[in-house]
Chains A and B, each alone.
Chain A
Amino acid sequence: MPVWQSIYEELKSENFEIISFAQDTGGEAAAGPIFDAGNVTYTTVIDVNHHISALYNLVNVPSGVWIDEAGKIQRINEGTYAAVHANGAFGTDEYVPIVRDWVAKGADSEYVWDLEQVRANIFQRTPEAEMAQPAFRIGTHYFTLGNDAKAEQYWTMAQELDPTSWNYLRQDLQYEDGGSAGPAWRERRTQIESAGGTYYAPLGIEPAGAANN
């Protein structure tokens, strides 16, 4: 968060905005203090229903989308860590420099994808998986009403309808023993990765077209 704030301060005068969505069923109480601790001045939304991930077909957090001045997507669905985390186990230092390049050069940045690449990187969901969002939404509604049993029923239903979503799984695990990065999460991650899947879509940091060289 502090890294994004410093990037924002560096680039905001260049027609650049960050909109940050905290996907937290716990709402302001869960995410607000983290925004506050980062002294964040960019646009902040607490997205209790995971609305943005549903709309943009994002499967994990953190994820990022680049949108140009006309509303066209230029990159999408990447694990957008601002830095390598302290323990070195995850994160990357390679993403922030390409954001800087994009803000400076716009469509001329070598990191901007063409439409074909954008379309290829939009995660595809089955019709059944499309039902996960309204199911998750009911779960969150019950959670807000204090009905944890019904919340769990519909959050579980969302995970079953869309097993590709790390968000629905990890949000739910937060309320269980072991938390969002405990044994259940590790087991699931190992299953998916050993089957050739990925936890995040790989960061395509190499310049567009490099694969053809």
Chain B
Amino acid sequence: MKNLMGFSLLLGTAVIAGTVTAQSATVLYNERVVAIEQTLPDASDLWVTPADLTRINDFVLKPEGACLADLCIPVLQDRDSDMYVTRSGQGWFNVTGLADKLEQAHVTDYADSIWSFGAMPLERRAFFRGGEAPDFALPDRDGNIVRLSDFRGKKVLLLTWASW
């Protein structure tokens, strides 16, 4: 575990390969398991196309930056930066770079190219400051998505348990 974390810190600066070769990845984001067919090979960061960015975390790359609802993180797109590069006409977005800007925890299995992300602190600011219950979207046993926000107007007793 310590080696993995040290590895990630040492290679904090992105090294972008000059040529693009297909390298797939699996991204775990909330309950999503997103298969990415092609990433930009990189020793430490996850670079994906703007379309795959949206598949991963719903952020949309717009002229003003990477946006999710009212939130926009500025991203230079007319030249290469630590967040966005263009190779052979294809734009690549640094997903882990975005997570770092958002102070979002992430862990990677580099050998198998599996990238796993925690919750965005922004999503939980109202929880810590104002005691607002964070919303969630998880499937019930019939596969229907359960959202806390579907229960507005009711008192909700949220319980956790386990079979073990």
Binding site for B on A (CB under 8 A): 1, 4, 14-24, 26, 28, 30-32, 34-35, 43-47, 49, 51-56, 58, 61-73, 80, 99, 102-103, 106, 115, 118-119, 122, 127, 130-131, 133-135, 137-138, 141, 150, 154, 156-157, 160-161, 167, 170-171, 173-174, 179-180
CB neighbours (8 Å) of B103 from chain A are 127
Tally chain B residues at the interface, Cβ within 8 Å.
50
B31 CB → nearest A CB, Å: 7
Is B138 within 8 A of A45, CB to CB?
yes
Stretch of B9-17, B78-86, B87-95, B127-135 contacting A (4+ beta carbons < 8 Å): B127-135
B152–A24 contact, CB under 8 A? no
Shortest distance in angstroms between A11's beta carbon and chain B's nearest beta carbon? 9
Bound together, the chains give a CA A56 to CA B163 distance in angstroms of 20
Partner among B4, B109, B131 whose Cβ is within 8 Å of the Cβ of A72: B131
Are B28 and A133 in contact, CB atoms less than 8 angstroms apart?
Answer: no
Residues of B near any A CB (own CB < 8 A) = 1, 4, 26, 28, 30-31, 33, 103, 105-107, 109, 112, 114, 116-119, 124, 127-136, 138-141, 146, 148-149, 151-164
Instruction: Check B160–A55 contact: CB distance below 8 A.
Output: no
CB atoms of A73 and B131 under 8 A apart: yes
Determine how close the nearest CB of chain A comes to the CB of B43; give it in whole angstroms: 19
Q: How far is the CB of A95 from chain B (nearest CB, A)?
A: 10
A20 touches which of B31, B154, B161 (Cβ 8 Å): B161
Judge whether B106 and A69 touch: CB under 8 Å. no
Q: B160: which of A26, A52, A131, A180 is its contact (CB, 8 Å)?
A: A52
Report Cα–Cα, A31/B33, bound state, in Å.
22
Find the B residue at minimum CB distance from A65. Answer: B158
Q: A67-B155, A134-B105, A138-B114 are in contact. Are A62 and B127 (CB under 8 A)?
A: no
Shortest B157–chain A CB gap in Å is 5
Query: With contacts A19-B156, A133-B105 known, is A73 near B132, CB below 8 A?
Result: yes
B105, A61: Cβ atoms under 8 Å? no
Residue in chain B with minimal CB distance to A76: B131
Among B107, B109, B133, B140, the residue within 8 A (CB) of A43 is B140
Q: How far is the CA of A102 from the CA of B154 in the complex (A)?
A: 12
When the two chains form their complex, are residues B162 and A23 in contact, meaning their CB atoms are under 8 A apart?
Answer: yes
Q: Contact check, B154 vs A45: say whether CB atoms are below 8 A apart.
A: no
> What are 18 A-B pairs at a CB distance below 8 A?
A16-B157, A19-B157, A22-B162, A32-B141, A46-B141, A55-B119, A55-B134, A62-B161, A68-B155, A69-B155, A102-B155, A131-B118, A134-B106, A138-B116, A156-B1, A157-B4, A173-B164, A179-B164
